Structure 1
Amino acid sequence: MGEIQRKVRVELGPDSYDIVIGRNLRQEVQDFVRGAGFSNKALLLTDSNVGPVYGEKVVSWLAEAGLVAALVTVPAGESSKSLSVAETVYTECIKAGLDRKSPVFALGGGVVGDLAGFIAATYMRGVPFVQLPTSLLAQVDSSVGGKVAVNHALGKNLIGAFYQPKAVFMDLEMMETLPAREISTGLGEVVKYGLIYDADFFAYLESHIEEILSLKHECLSHIIARSCEIKAAVVSEDEKEAGLRRILNFGHTIGHAIEKETGYARYNHGEAVAVGMVGALKLSIELGLLAEEVLPRTERLLRALKLPVRAEGCTVDDMYEDIFHDKKTVGGRVAWVLISAIGQTVCRSDVPESAVREAMAYCLAD
């Protein structure tokens, strides 16, 4: 048996599912597969980083549980989140003889999860979807909440759906091969959960930096589970992003602009969000919502977790233009997620341009 350390239930009525966090989850995955009512063929989607290390291992886990899984590997990186790559994967689904009860498994980071989820949501109008996220960012962010998508040349995640997995298995042993930068990128989103929802969790992060960076399993399973609990609590109240779920976008308005201005190459997602959170905190202070000491405190934590607090290669003018092309901008008004204290969010769409520009200038390197 594997060692289950945590289980988080995502409550979404008939679409509810469990997130299982532990080590060597082979038995748990197999027990789930045997009881799930799947047909005997499956697709295991992975990428060129994760596939060579864990692909065959997971194929053999599934084979022992009675599933013949076609292993399909896409190139690692954001460029695989496209309709043209999706089409090659549909072809593999058809060639492998997948039917409406054949599950699609995602083994990898957020790109693989988004692509596999998009395939699962659309192949034969929807087949079962199971997540095996291997990166910290995917575990705490994209594997919870059911947003699946591919990118278009004119913008990220513009073609997608809300589609919930049947289960999520997070095997901490698979994280041991992650590069340090990939750990930090996930920690950007982890810090976000503390800022928007849970002051005690934020303080826990501040006091456990060494344990977090050295991937101590107890500590890791706690921060993953708490992040998933927070995201699950928000998503279960607002599955389709009508209101509360917007708070998960804290730091993302400026973060997405930074990603775009640097060609999605200089900063990965968690790094851009870290700088975006610094900007959002600065904006919160400028508008008189937030005490000033929260900003240096957060910058200290981000730096300790090896995350940037300033971005290079961007201009305020270009970033200001970008925020109006974000999916979350409605009727030309940007919906800003700000905070009034650690753990308390405020949504505002009446923020003056001068304040936004000042906050952007603050989080850009001189």
Structure 2
Amino acid sequence: MDETTRIPVGGDRPYEVLVGRDLLGTLPGLVDGAARAAVLYAPPLKPHADAVGETLAAAGVRPLLVDVPDAEAGKSMDVAAHCWDQLGAAGFTRTDVVVGVGGGAVTDLAGFVAACWLRGVRWVPVSTSLLGMVDAAVGGKTGVNTAAGKNLVGAFHPPAGVLCDLATLDSLPPTDLVAGLAEVVKCGFIADPAILDVVERDPAAAADPATPALRELVERAIKVKSQVVSADLRESGLREILNYGHTLAHAIEKVEGYAWRHGHAVSVGLVYAAALGALAGRLDTGTAARHRAVLTALGLPVSYRADAWPDLLATMRVDKKARGATLRFVVLDGLATPSILDGPPDELLLSAYQEVAS
């Protein structure tokens, strides 16, 4: 039997992230006391949702399966309102639970639905994508997208527990799995350089769900995030480092109408943040160049359209880290030494973008 790794997340409402294979049997323990469970899922994941529903039903919890649009299309107020209507019609109470089955978008939505229903009910992400496992499912950040930008509406609402079943990665399209590795690489640069060593040693093994290398990467990335969010749930300070590369990444996603994969945008954003740090005199050129090399070895994009800069800059000005009219970027002062760059001049921002412009 596959061994399950339990990674604790601290704070006011501590919980565990379970990493392993065939973990559905642990779900009933996380929803104990619930009469009903709303299982949110996108249509391509109906078999997974059915399995979750059967597991809950066998434990005496009545499942309510709610299908939502796939990917970022599901992260809207209209979809959230539809889910709340379903909960109301089914008579969901404070002791009931919401389960999100899918990648980062579904778990973001499920957590937001749970955070708002009766001002907060339990929820459990059952993550089926690499991106969801190492990023969206851990940390209690929930939210939806609006016309103004990505994730600007949301709530901090820690889950009751997180299930990262590595078996679901076996059927994940390779492009989606590799995209999720961008968040893993980010964790390597901001906190755990051993992640970079694993990728550089064998990029193919790093992208293969059957290898010990990928499991090690998943567990290391989750540990980085769990340590950060345990100390700073509400992003009042330390947690900002998890946004390394994300200021430009979120702008790219918005300009693309959320058609780009999040991990692809993060990959470009990481190279941009490294260039910005180097040009600002904060980061050595060798570590900056390592960003491009590691991401390229995995087959991730490291450039974006040159003509998009005006739109990207305008979008970045409403980034969550901005303070008034001042743009703020997470940069590195060295490997695994993140810090904040406040108010860089537009000329510097453009110079850094020219290093990723295609």
Name the TM-score, length of structure 1 as normaliser: 0.94
State the distance in 1 between where 2:357 and 2:123 align: 40
- SS of equivalent residue, structure 1 residue 107: strand
**Counterpart among 26, 37, 41 of residue 42 in structure 1:** 37
**Counterpart among 97, 100, 104 of residue 106 in structure 1:** 100
**2:349 corresponding residue in structure 1:** 356
State the distance in 2 between where 1:158 and 1:283 align: 24
- SS of equivalent residue, structure 1 residue 333: coil
| Contact 1:4–1:22 (Cα < 8 Å) also in 2 | yes
**Counterpart among 5, 18, 21 of residue 19 in structure 2:** 21
Q: Which amino acid aligns with 2:26?
A: E
**Counterpart among 164, 167, 170 of residue 170 in structure 1:** 164
Residues 194-343 of structure 1 mapped to structure 2, 5 A cutoff: 194-265=188-259, 267-312=260-305, 314-343=307-336
State the distance in 2 between where 1:283 and 1:353 align: 11
Give unmatched runs, 5+ long, in structure 1.
Answer: none
Q: 1:100 to 1:314 in 2, by over 3 A?
A: farther
- My pick for the range that moved more, 204-213 or 225-234, is 204-213
**1:86 corresponding residue in structure 2:** 80
Tell me how far 1:214 sits from its aligned partner. Answer: 1.9
Tell me how far 1:277 sits from its aligned partner. Answer: 0.8
State the distance in 1 between where 2:3 and 2:100 align: 20
- SS of equivalent residue, structure 1 residue 54: helix
| Contact 1:105–1:132 (Cα < 8 Å) also in 2 | yes
State the distance in 1 between where 2:49 and 2:129 align: 15
State the distance in 2 between where 1:346 and 1:158 align: 23
Tell me how far 1:200 sits from its aligned partner. Answer: 2.3
| Contact 2:208–2:214 (Cα < 8 Å) also in 1 | no
Q: 1:131 to 1:314 in 2, by over 3 A?
A: farther
Tell me how far 1:313 sits from its aligned partner. Answer: 6.6
**1:9 corresponding residue in structure 2:** 8
Moved over 3 A (4+): none
Tell me how far 1:151 sits from its aligned partner. Answer: 1.6
**2:53 corresponding residue in structure 1:** 59
- My pick for the range that moved more, 250-259 or 288-297, is 288-297
State the distance in 2 between where 1:178 and 1:221 align: 15
State the distance in 1 between where 2:34 and 2:5 align: 29
**2:62 corresponding residue in structure 1:** 68
Number of equivalent positions: 358
Q: 1:66 to 1:257 in 2, by over 3 A?
A: same
Superposition CA RMSD, Å: 1.5
Tell me how far 1:217 sits from its aligned partner. Answer: 4.2
State the distance in 2 between where 1:81 and 1:90 align: 14
State the distance in 1 between where 2:147 and 2:310 align: 22
- SS of equivalent residue, structure 1 residue 263: coil
Percentage identity across paired residues of the two chains: 35
**2:132 corresponding residue in structure 1:** 138
| Contact 2:150–2:254 (Cα < 8 Å) also in 1 | no
State the distance in 2 between where 1:108 and 1:336 align: 30
- SS of equivalent residue, structure 2 residue 33: coil
Q: Which amino acid aligns with 1:172?
A: L
Per-residue Cα deviation, 1:330-353 (whole angstroms, up to 9, x for no partner): 111111111122211121203222
Residues 108-123 of structure 1 mapped to structure 2, 5 A cutoff: 108-123=102-117
| Contact 1:19–1:170 (Cα < 8 Å) also in 2 | yes
Per-residue Cα deviation, 1:281-311 (whole angstroms, up to 9, x for no partner): 1111111122212233221211121200111
State the distance in 1 between where 2:312 and 2:117 align: 37
State the distance in 1 between where 2:193 and 2:277 align: 17
State the distance in 1 between where 2:25 and 2:163 align: 11
Q: Which amino acid aligns with 2:159?
A: P
| Contact 2:125–2:163 (Cα < 8 Å) also in 1 | yes
Q: Does 1:95 align with 2:65?
A: no
- SS of equivalent residue, structure 1 residue 50: helix
Tell me how far 1:3 sits from its aligned partner. Answer: 2.5
- SS of equivalent residue, structure 2 residue 285: coil
State the distance in 2 between where 1:184 and 1:345 align: 24
| Contact 1:5–1:221 (Cα < 8 Å) also in 2 | no
State the distance in 1 between where 2:148 and 2:251 align: 13
| Contact 2:15–2:160 (Cα < 8 Å) also in 1 | yes
| Contact 1:3–1:25 (Cα < 8 Å) also in 2 | no
Name the TM-score, length of structure 2 as normaliser: 0.96
- SS of equivalent residue, structure 1 residue 308: coil
State the distance in 1 between where 2:237 and 2:315 align: 22
Give unmatched runs, 5+ long, in structure 2.
Answer: none
- My pick for the range that moved more, 130-139 or 149-158, is 149-158
| Contact 2:306–2:354 (Cα < 8 Å) also in 1 | no
State the distance in 2 between where 1:224 and 1:102 align: 30
